[in-house]
Structures are given as C-alpha cells and as structure tokens.
Amino acid sequence: MSHRRSFAETPRLLPAVFDLLETIWPGIKAGAGEAEQLGLDWGAASTPFVVIEGDAVISHLGTMEVPLVIDGEEQMVAAVHAVATHPEHRRKGHYRACIEEALAWIDERYALTMLTTDHVALYEPFGFRCVTEHLWSGPMPDIAPARVGERRLLDKGNPEDVRLLHRLLRDRVAISPRLGVVRELHGFAFYAASVPLWYLPALDAVLWYTATDEALVLHDLVAASTPAVEAILEHLPERPPALSIEFTADVVAPSLETTPHNLDGNDWLMLRGPLAVEGQPFMLPRTARF
C-alpha cells in the first residue's frame, strides 16, 4: 500500500529513498550531495509517495511545486519526479498505487501537472499527454568577439557566488511571458550542480551554455530582466556558425526560426491539465525538467 509521507516527520525516510533511487540511477545520491551546496533541500522540496517493506522503500514517486509564468500569468505547477520501483518488486501494482494516490492529492491543489520522461506509455493511462516543444535556432549573428573579463565562471564552492546565484534565482524574471520559470531553486540546483554556470556582470545574469565548432547552445538564463540574444553573445568568446536556444526565446531572439524539437531525442514533456499556450512554440528549460 502506498502512503504519502513527510521527510521532516520521518528522518530515516530520505536515506531509504536514495537507496532505492541509487539502484535505478547510480550516482544520483552523490549528485544530490553536490547540489546541496547550491541550496538543494530534497526533503523540503519534495513530497514523497512510497511503498515500504520492512525498512526499505521499494517504490517511490515524488512531487514538487514549480512556479511558472504561463501566458503572462504566474501559476504554481506540480511536477512529478524520481518515479522508481525496485526491480525485484515490479509488476505488483506498487507504481499504480503510488501514482493514483499522488494524482488524487495533486488534483486537490494544482490545475496542471508536468513531468519529463522517455517512458511515455507509463504515464498515458493516468491522463498525461505529450506536448510539442520547440527549439529556437538560426545562423550566428554577426557580433564581434567578447572582450576578456566580460564573463566569469561561478565558483560553486564560494559562498559569495552561491549567494549571488540565490539572489538571481529569487529575483529572476520569466524569460518569456509565454512560458518561463520564476523563483525555483531546488530543481535548478540539482541540475546545475554538474554543469558550468557563467556570470555576466554587465547583465547581472547567470548563463548555462555549451559551444562546439558547429553550434553554440543556450540552455538557461537567470536574470532580473530579459536581454536580447545579441547582448548575451557580446559577452561570450565563441562564434560557431549556428546558434540554438533551449528555452522559450520569443522575446530573447524573435528573429530565430522555431522547429519542433525533442531534447536529446527522447525527453518528452508530458502534461496533465490545461496549458494556455499549448500549440504555440515554447520550451521548458533543462533546469526545470524533473
């Protein structure tokens, strides 16, 4: 039988959950530990639905709330994450019990629930549907290379840099009124702990991007105001021939083309409930995908 539990009220529950998750995603415990220095508090952020046998958690489904701006209005959205059943206890109804209880609890509190997955068929029977996301892409704008000192790598072990990041996450504006993330810390910390984050002092913004000889990809931007893509690129030294943006970039880069796109080829965004901008080009950034 599944139960909604509280990590705060059951101190030994969190280690037991991580013991289960480690069997499915080796390294997740170490990753969560690294993310703690950026502010991740899994126990405070997640509400667990679990099946327990003895002292072991054999099935888990977590829920978090994520503040989004959707069609110009702020909305608190439920996110389903870390869905796992121990391989020795599958096909016994544990997952169904967890998700049915979780969705009944969610439906009393949230109008929209989201998750990202490569196992679409697992969630379709429970009212989730895949939605089409879009990539913004085009040729690299003709901008001179950045001058030295116009960006610096955040030191995640430096308390001052962590405070800077927390300030920007607290004050961040939705990168687009169509769909953007605001005031979300825990999920961002979990994802961003393992990737380089660059601070652009002139824009007072934190940027995650990658660059190859072929393309520069902007993955996420955290700032109190929304700069144009040209202003961002002015602070980066790389100038490959192509540019892509993996968040809703209708304001940042309105001249770029949009094409339907599935991150990594299999990371589907699934929703349960109405989305006001469904059918319009948008993308949920990687740092808000659970």
pLDDT band at 290; cut points 50, 70, 90: confident
Instruction: Domain 135-261: give its CATH architecture.
Output: 3-Layer(aba) Sandwich (3.40)
More confident call, 8 vs 123: 123
Give the SS3 label for residue 241: coil
| Dihedral of alpha carbons 108, 32, 118, 256, sign | positive
CB 177 within 8 A of CB 251: yes
Amino acid at 102: A
CB 175 within 8 A of CB 251: yes
Give the span between the Cα atoms of 39 and 162, in whole angstroms.
Answer: 8
Q: What is the pLDDT of residue 148?
A: 52
Q: What is the pLDDT of residue 3?
A: 86
Lowest mean pLDDT of 26-40, 237-251, 269-283, name the range.
26-40
Phi and psi (nearest 5°) for 245? -130, 125
Region 3-132: CATH code: 3.40.630.30
Q: What is the pLDDT of residue 53?
A: 93
CB 166 within 8 A of CB 177: no
pLDDT band at 172; cut points 50, 70, 90: very high
Q: What is the pLDDT of residues 185-208, one digit of tens each?
A: 999 999 899 999 999 999 999 999
| Strand 242-245, strand 215-223: pairing | parallel
Domain limits, the chain: 3-132, 135-261
Q: Count Cα neighbours of 279 within 13 Å in the Cβ-side half-sphere.
A: 2
Q: Is the pLDDT of residue 146 over 80?
A: no
Q: Is the pLDDT of residue 170 over 70?
A: yes
Output the CA–CA distances (angstroms, integers) from residue 85 to 56, 129, 271, in the order listed: 11, 22, 22
Q: What is the pLDDT of residue 143?
A: 84
Is it true that 3-132 and 135-261 share their CATH fold? yes
Whole-model pTM over 0.85: yes
Cα-based torsion angle of the residue sequence 211, 213, 215, 221 in order, rounded to the nearest 10 degrees? 10
Q: Is the pLDDT of residue 1 over 80?
A: no
Interval 112-135 mean pLDDT: 97
For the chain, list the strands marked E by DSSP.
3-4, 47-53, 56-70, 73-85, 113-117, 129-131, 134-139, 152-153, 179-181, 198-200, 205-211, 215-223, 242-245, 257-260, 268-272
Interval 23-28 mean pLDDT: 95
The percent of residues in the chain predicted with pLDDT above 90, rounded, is 89
Q: What is the pLDDT of residue 107?
A: 97
More confident call, 91 vs 144: 91
Q: What is the pLDDT of residue 2?
A: 59
Mean pLDDT, rounded, of the chain: 94
CB 111 within 8 A of CB 65: no
